[in-house]
Structure 1
């Protein structure tokens, strides 16, 4: 009203309106429109990884920082005619499009979607066929074993499967998670029965910490056992005389054989102590070499084998001398 009066007055006086006499509409730029979404949501949502449970907390936290959760949770009605609401909704939608993989985009994105519609379509992709997926995931969860995996790898796999079950409506309680974790442990952790008998049962994080500590203790015991086996088996042979300029003494060469064989035996013992599946095979492979190391360095040739060079000449000379006598 004031701007139009000023314009009318200027025209009646024959002068052009100035910038000060006309008030321009204010342009409001929200601070969240200029952020880098990847710095707030470092996880990319992909179908082949089934990582909705890891991605969604990052995204909902981002929306909560700027008060934009109603654009995805449906707690507020859409107001497409409101410019401020339209700007905020377009911003949330661009965040969704920028943090999901192309496989998710191809199935969930559509033209003229609101952020809420896109969010619901994405969520439906990971919640479809809940009943069959719950059955398969439950079987995977209850039949999982550690094998040769480390404690950290085993715990991560167990927790990821429990999270996937939660996404399909089958919540795994913390005591159930701990007991299933203990059930599938490698036999070398058989002494962890005290954890299962604890009252109350420790939580998942505490159980993992105890198992990691035991894993470190077992690895140290394997190293000590290997070193002890090396020292006991090698003995004085490892400290034999050093080789001479003429090729080395037979004792030195024999000590080298013993040392090499003992290294193999010690490595096999360490493998058995650490629980490796191929530990027994390594012991069996090391046994012949260890026995050979303690044998005589020079063995007579087997019957029918070729005579070593130089030996035939000496045999013929001794035979000639016997014939002359």
Structure 2
């Protein structure tokens, strides 16, 4: 959204004022701060804003708040990935559940490779699937 509105460079600090009295930068900063004030929760605004803050300050403080839980969220995803069982769901539903989790890991600069995904899909299967699991795990190259 920020890139579409062409304000991304302003909030990331890649754009700098031409001089101490850069009206265009101040106007852009005011527009962005207004946008923050209109879309952010009032309690969150109290946490991130101050009298002399600029739009980049708001952006940075939001980033700190939402990225501080990155490790705990990644650990939760890892636990969910390792503990997902087929249970009463169909095999297709089970595979979709597990296949969607690695996408979420990309948000944390982490990944689950395809071999880990296949192993995780196969290992928790009921004994009635063990013959096919043997065939798949002994296939060269590994699927």
| TM-score exceeds 0.5 | yes
Q: Which of residues 176, 179, 192 is equivalent to 2:118?
A: 179
| 1:66 Cα deviation from its structure 2 partner | 3.5
Partner SS, residue 63 of structure 1? coil
Q: Which of residues 62, 75, 89 is equivalent to 1:122?
A: 62
In the alignment, the residues of structure 1 paired with residue 62 and residue 44 of structure 2 have an alpha-carbon distance, to the nearest angstrom, of: 7
1:155 aligned partner? 96
1:67 and 2:37 correspond: no
The gaps in structure 1 that reach 5 residues or longer are 1-61, 202-325
In the alignment, the residues of structure 2 paired with residue 93 and residue 198 of structure 1 have an alpha-carbon distance, to the nearest angstrom, of: 57
Quote the RMSD (CA, aligned, Å).
Answer: 4.0
TM-aligned CA distance change 1:110 to 1:185, over 3 Å: farther
Q: Does structure 2 retain, via aligned residues, the 8 Å contact 1:166–1:172?
A: yes
1:88 and 2:31 correspond: no
1:107 aligned partner? 47
TM-aligned CA distance change 1:127 to 1:82, over 3 Å: same
Which consecutive segments of 4 or more residues in structure 1 shift more than 6 A? none
Scaled by the length of structure 1, what TM-score is found?
Answer: 0.32
Partner SS, residue 172 of structure 1? coil
TM-aligned CA distance change 1:110 to 1:195, over 3 Å: farther
| 1:70 Cα deviation from its structure 2 partner | 0.7
Bigger-Rg structure (1/2): 1
In the alignment, the residues of structure 1 paired with residue 120 and residue 74 of structure 2 have an alpha-carbon distance, to the nearest angstrom, of: 19
Higher relative contact order (CA 8 A, sep 6+): 2
Partner SS, residue 96 of structure 2? helix
Name the count of aligned residue pairs: 138
